[in-house]
Structure 1
Amino acid sequence: MPAASAPEQSLVPRPGELSTDPQRSCVLSAATRIGASPGAEHVAAWLRTRLGAATGFPFPPPSDDDGPDTASILLRLDHESGVAPEGYQLVSGPDGVTVTASDAAGVFYGAQTLLQLLPYDVHRSAPSHSTTWELPSTRITDQPRFGWRGCMLDVARHFMPKHEVLRFIDLLAMHKLNVLHLHLTDDQGWRVEIKRYPKLTEVGAWRRESQVGPTRPPAFDGRPHGGYYTQEDIREIVSYAAARHITVVPEIDVPGHSQAAIAAYPYLGEGDPVEVGCEWGIIDRVLNVSDTTLEFYRAVFDEVMELFPSTYICVGGDECPKRQWRASATAQQRIREEGLADEDELQSWFIRQFAEYFAEHGRRLLGWDEILEGGLPEGATVASWRGTQGGIAAARAGHDVVMCPTGTNYLDYRQSDSPEEPVSVGPVLTLADVYTAEPIPPELASAGGERVRGAQVNVWTEHMDTPRSVDYMTFPRLSAFSEVVWSAGERAYAEFLPRLERHLARLDAAGVEYRPLAGPHPWQQRPALG
């Protein structure tokens, strides 16, 4: 475990303004109270639970009987405070701690910083009874740089049990991220219950086996895999995230990456029936473009929109091969009927049907940057993953952009060129690479940068078959990313690294099996899959 150090010197992400007085401090005890102004009560309830688990203290609301020596934590929601949206001011001293914000999200992020000012054991789930809960006298003014601070979690390739998703949400919240992009469907699995079409989970949620490693020809494990979230599970996940000021953005892939749906309902596809995909990569199977398929997915999205209140619904739109459409009489007829130039415009037409449908329901379409091909639907937001060019083109055309290029934001990529890394996928993406990345490309620095709503890292799980492996690939690179999207001003990796080394003690206390900075532990290696 990293050596203990002053918590105020290990805040991640770095706050905007920070000053401390190490000669004065605040000590929490069984007598400490947590109070909240109207509108901040739910944050107080969350903080009471989090602090109570680690300290064993009750943290009741303030009482008229409190003596003058009773330290207090006050969460103030003041819409006239002048604090920026999602920002906060935190002041601590011998009398207690006050967090002030203009919205509830800011109160929550101030409470997260309060936890980081306390000893690292505050991130444990039960008291050790050996810690003095002391924090320095501190004054912090802080606010986020971007409004979209996200992480895409792929639960389609390898299913993650619900309780692990909830734990992952807590880790995002610890790092002040506010979007969980949940990748729910793909060729290899359908993970959300749709009551109108039960075979999507009865058939589509299960595959015969899984490819192991990236080798060619592919090798398989011979072990069935699957799972899905009931609608009640989804409501729980969404509610749990909302209490931590995280929006869950669902992704239902169309028209490519849809083999699991086609396996469940063969009439959606082009050609013969297929099984749920077992191999990774781009698969030729795509949805057909019939009215029946459009109506099927409108019904799917009706249930998705009822489950997810997010403004954004992601339809994927990436890596859609056109071979089947070129050979399809139905697709060619649609091209003629709609006056389209080619299969690229056919894909754009297909995506536009749902952009318009979402707009009718007060929602917005999000898609990977391939939705630019053939024309971008009005109001669509682009997730720029094939480098930054898609994001640049979308921003210049007046569309909002979320930056997530493979070269800096793909956390399935190996973390060094050492043969000890568990699976050698993609180019090397180091901790420093993630930290030094800039979400706004230089081409948009003078104009168009305002269209970059933020950025996200993507956790694709083809080669992460357990939550332990997700921990290893995600952390501490996600810790570095959190500072990229939260903290304004210049960043210096040499300044960040000592803070991160101390921050790792928090991850240890929280039970995160991150990749050590010096390289993987022996049990984290899987050399046979390189």
Structure 2
Amino acid sequence: MDLIPVPQVAVPDGDGRRLVLGPGPVLDTGPGTEGVARWLRRELGSATGWSLPPAAAGARADVRLRIDPDRAGELGPESYGITVGADGVELTGASPAGLFWGAQTLRQLLGPDAYRKAPLPGRTWSLPYVDIADGPRFGWRGLMLDVARHFLPKDAVLRYVDLLAAHKLNVLHLHLTDDQGWRVEIKRYPRLTEVGAWRSRSRWGHRASPLWNETPHGGFYTQDDLREIVAYAAERHVRVVPEIDVPGHSQAAIAAYPELGNTDVVDTAALEVWDDWGINENVLAPTEAVLRFYEGVFEELLEVFPAEVSPFVHVGGDECPKAQWKASGVAQARIAELGVGGEDGLQSWFIRHFDGWLAERGRRLIGWDEILEGGLAPGAAVSSWRGYAGGIAAAEAGHDVVMCPEQQVYLDHRQTDGEDEPMPIGYVRTLEDVYRFEPVPPKLSEEAAAHVLGAQANVWTEVMEDQSRVDYQVFPRLAAFAEVVWSRLPLPEERDHADFEARMTAHYRRLDALGVDYRPPGGPLPWQRRPGVLGRPIEGAPPNV
């Protein structure tokens, strides 16, 4: 049946029988299924021409939707079951989310043309007789999308919500601020977007490249844009996690409000939004005024991202150079006043402040694994990006962890070591490499392993200038990642990659119907290459390290 992610149990009819659905199938909706019914009528209706009207009283519907919480005992609260037989389709979820994931499987069973926006002439629709029971391995199945380095318009973000949902992924982590751009409207601080959302030019390629794109770049989401994204995602059972970076990766904010920077050592008034890539020395000043400023930012952010759909708030916390704090009399006085022992302690003080501030408002802080340095409050969670070590340390200390090690699931990294890869970055990570990613390190104790919420793939966009480039880097590898975090696969060395690749043959046709500009199995097409633009291959690294 070529399903991706592969379901836990799928028992096809031994005789190869199929249920043929006529031009006017009817739908029976049980209590709590209204959201999935709307989605089916809109998405399948577009592709098939069906209106899926409700069944007449007493009549047997072709497709029947049910919620049965008792199913959760088998495969968890996001589980579902599908039965296709002579009397139609029975789709049951342990929850509305489980039912929605079942509807995604139903769409796959209908074939690639079920992903189109309008019906094609002469198409008939049928489903194989089958019994499916399925549910996810992890509750956090995510993608981090960096919209700070290169902005993606709102409609492109909504499109990615749909692409995540089609792969049964349920977290979209939006990296909203960085040195190169501030992408969220904050009404009390309008210069964050008036100034901070725009840069005059961009490096073309890695920072070693001598080339520049001289076209100004920028954009931002209004608060209503983000409310729309959150609501759109919630209807598809995708949570949106916003990220506001502190205390590093902050030059765009300092360019907008120079008083946020270390003014006693840097002429912050002369700073502009950064046009280059890498780790920037301009970090936030460790003052009470800066804390109050960012509390104001987070107050507005929490209104846009309500707790019921976005319980986590990401604060970054990574890659904070300390040179300015070492040189700053204000920072050194602050270190003495707080008794934190040095610049590393000052960074921890920043994070712990917002950890407590968010906890008081019923939210959970999550940050990159550098936030472990100096200790964390019990409710804080960690995104483990510098390999597995940070995640292991956090889990053993009782903190929840999202595994996203750059060596395995940074999708901005190149897909082969061939010369045609556009702006090659980092390690080679092939489709098979991603398929063999294991989110739970074998070193973890059983108790610590329970703190692994799941995993996410990260997409940093320094060398991805538009939606097409993002598609190329993300797909088809996101399909492999989705199967890893959804399905209960064997150990990495025992996984059947040949079977996965065979199922991808059909999945490429689904991606074609969705208009995804993925990397073809045979390598980049001519217009996907970037000849002569330098990337950053890691020197001396073997192809699959």
Q: Same fold (TM over 0.5)?
A: yes
In the alignment, structure 1 segments of 5+ residues that lack a partner are: 1-7
Q: Which segment is superposed worse, 491-500 or 401-410?
A: 491-500
Q: Which amino acid aligns with 1:516?
A: P
- One-letter identity of the residue aligned with 2:131: R
Residue in structure 1 matched with residue 19 of structure 2 by the alignment: 26
1:379 pairs with 2:379:
yes
Which residue of 1 is the match for residue 66 of structure 2? 76
| CA contact 1:152–1:456 (8 Å) conserved in 2 | yes
What corresponds to 1:127 in structure 2? 119
Q: Distance in 2 between matches of 1:446 and 1:300?
A: 39
Q: Distance in 2 between matches of 1:17 and 1:370?
A: 40
The structure 1 segments of at least 4 consecutive aligned residues displaced by more than 4 Å after TM superposition are none
Residue 89 of structure 2 is aligned with which of 84, 94, 97? Answer: 97
Question: Separation in 1 of the partners of 2:287 and 2:207?
Answer: 37
Aligned partner of 2:141 in structure 1 is 149
Q: Runs of 5+ in structure 2 lacking a partner?
A: 535-545
1:301 partnered with 2:294? no
Cα drift, residue 217 of structure 1: 5.7
Q: After TM superposition, give the deviation of residue 80 of structure 1 in Å.
A: 3.0
Bigger Cα displacement from structure 2, 325-334 vs 441-450: 441-450
- 2:281 is matched with 284
Match of 2:153 among 161, 176, 184: 161
**1:257-268 matched pairs, under 5 angstroms:** 257-268=249-260
Equivalent position SS for 2:425: coil
Count of residue correspondences? 519
Aligned to 1:4: none
> In the TM superposition, what whole-angstrom CA distance separates every residue of 1:239-283 from its partner, at most 9, and x where no partner exists?
000000000000000000011000000000112121001000000
1:204-223 correspondence runs (5 A): 204-216=196-208, 218-223=210-215
Contact kept? 1:93, 1:138, Cα under 8 Å: yes
Q: Distance in 2 between matches of 1:322 and 1:74?
A: 60
Aligned residue number for residue 3 of structure 1: none
Specify the SS of the correspondent of 1:515.
coil
> In the alignment, is the contact (CA less than 8 A) between 1:318 and 1:371 conserved in 2?
yes
Q: Could you list the per-position Cα deviations for residues 291-340 of structure 1 after superposition, in whole angstroms to 9, with x for gaps in the alignment?
A: 11000000100011111121100000010000111111121111111111
Q: Deviations over 1:194-230 (max 9, x none)?
A: 1111110000000000011115264321110000011
Q: Give the stretch that moved more between structures: 298-307 or 28-37.
A: 28-37
Amino acid of the structure 1 residue aligned with 2:78: E
Q: Residues 253 and 316 of structure 1 are in contact (CA less than 8 Å); yes or no, is this contact kept in structure 2? A: yes
Q: Which amino acid aligns with 2:32?
A: G
2:38 pairs with 1:45: yes
Q: Which residue of 1 aligns with 2:9?
A: 17
Native 8 Å contact 2:207 2:277 kept in 1: no
Partner letter of residue 299 of structure 2?
D
**Cα distance, 1:65 vs structure 2:** 7.2
- Determine the C-alpha separation between the residues in 2 that align with 1:439 and 1:360: 31
CA contact (8 A) 1:160 1:466 kept: yes
The normalised TM-score by structure 2 is 0.93
Q: Is the Cα–Cα contact under 8 Å of residues 25 and 135 in structure 1 kept in the other structure?
A: yes
1:32 Cα deviation after fit? 0.7
Q: Using the alignment, how far apart are the partners of 2:207 and 2:392 within structure 1?
A: 34
SS in 2 for 1:448: helix
**Alignment correspondent of 1:523:** 527
State whether residues 415 and 430 of structure 1, in contact with CA within 8 Å, keep that contact through their aligned partners in structure 2: yes
> Per-residue displacement from partner, 1:26-76 (whole Å, max 9, x unpaired)?
22223211222111111111111111000111101111274x6xx511110
Give, in whole Å, the separation in 2 of the partners of 1:200 and 1:281: 21
- What letter corresponds to residue 64 of structure 2 in structure 1? L
Kept after mapping to 2: 8 A contact 1:381/1:400: yes
**1:345 corresponds to:** 345
Distance 1:303 1:317 in 2: 20
Residues 163-217 of structure 1: per-residue CA shift (max 9 Å, x gap): 1111111000000000000000000000010111111000000000001111526
The separation in 1 between residues aligned to 2:77 and 2:120, in whole angstroms, is 36
1:446 deviates by: 4.4
Contact 1:30 1:59 in 2 (8 A): no
CA spacing shift, 1:306–1:410, aligned 2, 3 Å? same
Which amino acid counterpart does residue 321 of structure 1 have in structure 2? P
Deviations 1:129-161 (A, max 9, x none): 221111101100001000100000000000001
- The correspondence of residues 121-520 of structure 1 with structure 2, limited to 5 A, is 121-216=113-208, 218-270=210-262, 271-272=266-267, 273=269, 274-309=271-306, 310-444=310-444, 446-490=446-490, 491-520=495-524
Q: Does the 8 Å CA contact 1:149/1:178 hold for their aligned counterparts?
A: yes
**Contact 2:9–2:133 under 8 Å retained in 1:** yes
**How far apart are the structure 1 equivalents of 2:210 and 2:347?**
30
AA aligned to 1:496 is F
